[in-house]
Amino acid sequence: MEETSRFKESNIVLALDFPFERLENRESLYIRAESLIERVHPYICAVKFNHHLTLPLGLFDGIKRLIKKAHDKGLLTIMDCKINDIGSTNEVIAEYYYAAGFDALIANPFVGWDEGLEPVFKVAKALNKGVILLVYMSHKGVAEGYGQTVLDYDTGKETPQYVLFAKRALKWGADGVVVGATYPEKVREVFGMLKDEVPIYSPGIGVQGGKIESALKAGARYLIVGRAITLSNNPSESAEKIRNIARALKKSV
């Protein structure tokens, strides 16, 4: 990702999320997604897919074609599947997503390591793919789960849940973590733990209220931007503007 970001001169990850479409409009949804990649690829370094497109377009149908489109434009692809099941199921899920062409996927540390995410990391390592861990989300209710105080499994001490997840990212050798840009204080705290060993991906820029400057100054390396681009009247112009602001701020951080 670092190499692609330098080559593209951008640290913007496009969240390719669209509102619900009726199933009979699947082809137009595909065309819309493909057109967006075509229009904004000069200003981003990667594309993040969610269930928004995977469910209606099909993993080995429309999604695989969109992955190829992104790769042809020199972009990396991330599947935001938030893997969160038992190990044997997680392993199969990961194998399918990687087989479709994804370069990395996002997983939820809640399930733990043994018979949890260990099989995912093994599959990723064997295929030279990435695993990004969800540490602190960007929505308003995140503190009810990721912000709760829990007992550290290793030390028995009371610790915020997201702090444990950040520690696991280091221990497990994750390729990145997700921390919402809407909570720059959490980005800063997690960065203080991870430093430059594990990069931070920050979603929530724009519509959710996350600010480019505060996220970057707090330690985010990549900014995940969705609706501020996907719902824009001029996506390419919006993507270029966001990229330029982030690039200028990154130089001053």
Would you please indicate which residues are annotated as catalytic (active-site) residues?
A: 82
Give the other-Cβ count within 10 Å of 61's Cβ.
Answer: 13
Give the Cβ contact number of residue 241 at 10 Å.
15
Cα separation, 2 vs 199, in Å, equals 9
Give the start-end residues of each E strand in the chain: 12-15, 46-49, 76-83, 104-107, 130-136, 149-151, 158-160, 176-179, 200-202, 222-225
**Among 159, 165, 100, 170, residue whose Cα is nearest residue 137:** 165
Q: HEC profile for 63-113? A: HHHHHHHHHHCCCEEEEEEEECCCHHHHHHHHHHHHHHCCCEEEECHHHCH
Radius of gyration of the chain (CA): 17
- Number of Cβ within a 10 Å radius of residue 174: 26
Contact of 158 with 203, CB cutoff 8 Å: no
Strand partners, 76: 46
Q: Is the dihedral of CA 243, 248, 249, 253 positive or negative?
A: positive
